[in-house]
Structure 1
């Protein structure tokens, strides 16, 4: 800022916005003075220092939200502001841009452009807005309505709208995804189950995620059609025997989805019955024979059947039961019962494939239905069978194994080496044996003191005087609660030094004796000579 020599001129070079303001000049002479009117000097600048903001200030905006862009710039005069989307001019001007209910196509780069018509300058600032459509609740569909076991491959598809970033599946029964028979597509949208099994049935769910939300489908019930199989007719058993004139209800069941259709045949002839139960009222001889339950699944188009023979004057398969589950020797009586129904003619018993009769401590009841063992002992243990005879033949029970608990008997201790007197420092092994069922528990004692050695065999290393004496083996049976003991004495031999001393004493005595005899003989010789 410069002033001329006569002060008439004020020169501002390279004007700045700070130079703006009200200017006045004042003149005076010796007789008077005066002040000019104010002159407003405006310096135009800008636009510059732009600011652009988005509200709400989120990284992504959900479809349907309302957003506001605010734009400002330093400028005089105030700038003309216009908006552009991806380079295209929008029909809104000014410092504020409002978008109500944003759509996915509102995503892009938003530019605020400022223009000062006095400075002729332009400037702009850009920000991006990403509009995301939230995922909807997914729906699962199947390409096959009624898949059949071992026959079909099923593809389940998870469908949802929105900007999906990830799809996941929740399978029933803790089934693992991507096992040998279940495969997911690369994008996880589809799930393929090859050669479906009945175990694949259950509730399937899928989940979808976006960057702003996630949703889970309702359970999709996958039903695998299978069967019929495992056809059963009850009452169960190889044969059942009934009395003429009685009533009989046969019930047929099968594993099948959907439920199977039933019809009945008697000796190959179809009966007028299509339910799972068939009832015979006042049974006659014409009602006897082979009853067949014929089962059909209209989805799998498969058939299955089971047959049951119905007769009269027969017997059931006998079964043996015992009055005592765990008999102990010489501790009571055991009764075996041969349970059989029907027209029974006779019963025979065997033990270990040998026929039984009233011998020893065994007694048969009248009709041989029960076998009583008095004062039971170990010899009575074994495999028992009973065979029942009826008008149509005989039937034998399954083997019934009778255990008899006994012992322990008096133990026997075997020493190795088999001597009782041992040298100092020698090793010895003691083995205790006792007849017992179940096997006994062993405990050893030395001179009445317990040894921590619950084993059948006791090894004594480096025998000394402090570990010689009375060794006792104690046996115990947890079933009979009986205890039995046996003892053995171990000794050390006398010292070798003492034995050597005794031998040397005898030798000295013998030498002295010989010298005495020689002296006496010499004296007698010289006496006779004189």
Structure 2
């Protein structure tokens, strides 16, 4: 055996051993890590495990620490039992892989846990866990241990308590809005503190307590006591002073909770008031002076007071009153009145007369004229306590529009009321007529102020042609209008749809003199439910219009619901005067596009034969034109000429041709034309201005000539 062979065998033995130690050194680092989440939540009384996995050594020593204190120590796979803290042996268990298990874990085991694995010669490895043990939250109560909240206090506390449970998170809400710690709120453990509470803090407060296994919400109403604020005094009627005999009230109010009570003091007397309102009736000058209002909050015992100064004088009652009257419908009487007072007020109309005046009452009568129409006249009232005035403007009746109102009385009869009101001063007197006859007896009834004419038991068919005239007249002029009543009618209508095309709205207008007591909304289209006059639902026909909705006379719109946008509907409005129907409104189409209507199909059917007949006539006309054109361009055959030439006779090959300057013979009948001018044929091209005519030589004719 050579030394090379011996060295090879030695290498073969020691090389695997060397490689084995080399690889073992590469994996000898001790590593431990959680086999699950490092933070574990557990319900009290349940079993839970803090699972670990390790590598780099076999059978290491495992030690578990709870809040830094060792509670379990064990060498894996050793025959000795684990060393467990005596107080925790009923709860803690160590698994074969070094994991720590808890049996019926109590609430007190919430803590930070650390596992330490040690192997001699390899150091140690550490990893940490957090175990949170929770209990179900039950019987949460909100309370206010600090008593009632008062505006201006330093703080107000809301506190929650519960029978059992572990809270992981608490959230506070005020009127549904989450509360965060701020300059006004302080969220503390198990409580919410309102700093410097005010009246705006009154409301519902809610606390939400949660943990991974339960959630409970509880609320409480909090009312903040405040006030009274600065009293607000108000006298009604509000005047700078009052006169003897006036009645007035002075109210004293201020914000506060609970509502503060008011007390009035005048001089040394405490006056009776009702909820802060002091009523003074028929006051005298002796009742003028300072009235003090004192407001008290019964809860907070806070007081505020305010003084009201009341001035009472003698003056005429009310204000000056101006009026204008008609005298025999010819003259105008201006009147001014301001009664009472000491002394009585002196009244005058400076614009009418500088010399006329009166005490308390003044009347001036003038003949009506155009100068007074539209003129404003002022009555000046001069009294020591007060200077006042009133004004009146005379005016002739202005243009006006009559108004027609239609109702149905308890007997089901139509009642038509025509209103004619014209702005005028003095008030215009209205007279009524029907044609040339005055009206006033039944069935007509005129209102007391003559501005309304009422027609009872109105018959639409009998009265349509009658014209009613109302004339408004006062001393300055008159206005006259004629009213011709119309049957039920609609002047305009429109249709609108919503964005989903499931609802349509019909709107319509009625002429001002139309007699209408109601409307029928009609539809033509798919079958639909409608209500009859008895209120029962019926199914309408899709072949024609049917009423789907009745509307009263004042209505000017209607909504039709639950339509199918894929279908086609037709709508119209029928105006009615009781049982009499007027002309329908225009038909409004709504829905998807539809095929040709029956009338369109009939029109097309009638148009096809008419079109064919027109084509035949057109073809015949074209044929006739072509045929006529062809006959017109066909060359004309002429008879042989037997002309006589004065100067001699020429013959050639037994045929003679005569040339003459005389006009040719008349053509024979049968549509033959004159023969062409053959002399022009021999012209040079420059001498011809038109194309040569087609020439057909005549048939040979034997000619006899006499010399």
The TM-score with structure 1 as length reference comes to 0.40
The TM-score with structure 2 as length reference comes to 0.32
Q: Greater CA radius of gyration, 1 or 2?
A: 2
Ranked by relative contact order (alpha carbons within 8 Å, sequence separation 6 or more), the top structure is: 1
